[in-house]
Amino acid sequence: MKATLYGSRLSPFVEKVARALEVKGIEFATVDVRGPNDLKRWNPTTGKMPVLEIDGQKLIDSSLILRRLDELVPSPALVARDLAVAAKQRFVEDWSDESLYWYVMALRWNPANSKATVAQLAAFMPAPLRPLASLVFPWQIGGLARAQGLARLPLEVVLDELERRFDELTVFLGDSPFFFSDAVSVADLAVFGQLSTLRSGPTPQGARLLDTKPALVALFDRIDAATGRSAAARRRAA
């Protein structure tokens, strides 16, 4: 079984799906965003990434994609068999996608970081289109973050609130290697995607804050080790 993943792995949701494919041992190619029309062409329904083409289907929305991957390749499962544990894992997944995401966006589009964010995104575009990035991205993507509200807060307030969220995640994690389980789940993949974007360069304040949370850093490293290319290759060879 082979797949094609459409979207930039700078996106936490694309990274979430990519890591899920590695967990499942599914070979895939990645097609990056190269222009403003790519997303509408790949996903005319919502115009968002990721899009996964697999088993003759094009799938959208990272949570729905992970659910379908569990149907196609049941083992290893991305949610626990225990219904109570599975409910907690899905809750953290949804919270990460719908709440933690906006903290990352608020940092990326804060005036202290917006130029670096634009430069990072523009690097993936064809050279003739890059001058448009400084005009389009702050208005189009940054505007969404400001409309949500967090991006309108002062940087120090966003960081203070993010630290509270990090501390809450640490409580949820407890002594388990992964969220509520000994195995990687949708919760871990969703949180990993957000933290990966946070660490990608333009938000040094958030990356430094994360480094003060050893339990979350260790979690990030465990997920990375469990879902990287080398780990997936070992599973396929076993």
Task: Name the residue ranges covered by the structural domains of the chain.
Answer: 2-77+231-237, 83-226
Cα 73 to Cα 69, 143, 195, 231, distances in angstroms: 6, 38, 26, 17
Coil, helix or strand at residue 30: strand
pLDDT at 236: 46
Ranges of residues in the chain with a pLDDT under 70 are 36, 133, 135, 139, 230-238
2-77+231-237 fold: Glutaredoxin (3.40.30)
pLDDT digits 0-9 by tens, 33-51: 877 678 788 888 887 889 9
The closest alpha carbon to 78, from 217, 218, 223, 199, belongs to 223
The answer to whether 62 and 69 have CB atoms below 8 angstroms apart is: no
Listing DSSP states for 14-51 in one string gives: HHHHHHHHHHHT-EEEEE---STTHHHHH-TTT--S-E
The pLDDT value given to residue 237: 43
Q: Which residues contact 29 (CB under 8 A, 6 or more apart)?
A: 2, 3, 4, 5
Whether 178 contacts 225, CB under 8 Å? no
User: Rounded to whole angstroms, how far apart are CA atoms 172 and 187?
Assistant: 11
Which H helix or E strand runs over 55? none
* Sign of torsion over alpha carbons 53, 55, 59, 61: negative
Q: Do domains 2-77+231-237 and 83-226 have the same CATH topology?
A: no
Pair of tokens at residue 137: 């991205």
pLDDT in tens, 55-73: 889 999 999 999 999 999 9
| Of 68, 67, 30, nearest in space to 49 by CA | 30
Q: What is the structure's pLDDT at 3?
A: 95
Helix (H/G/I), strand (E/B), else coil: 87: helix
DSSP-derived secondary structure letter, 53? E
- Rounded to whole angstroms, the Cα distance separating 232 from 238 reads 10
The answer to whether the Cα torsion of 211, 88, 23, 27 is positive or negative is: negative
CATH number of 83-226: 1.20.1050.10
Which strand (E) or helix (H) includes residue 105?
helix 101-108
The pLDDT assigned to 55 comes to 85
- Single out the residue of 149, 140, 138 nearest to residue 109, CA to CA: 138
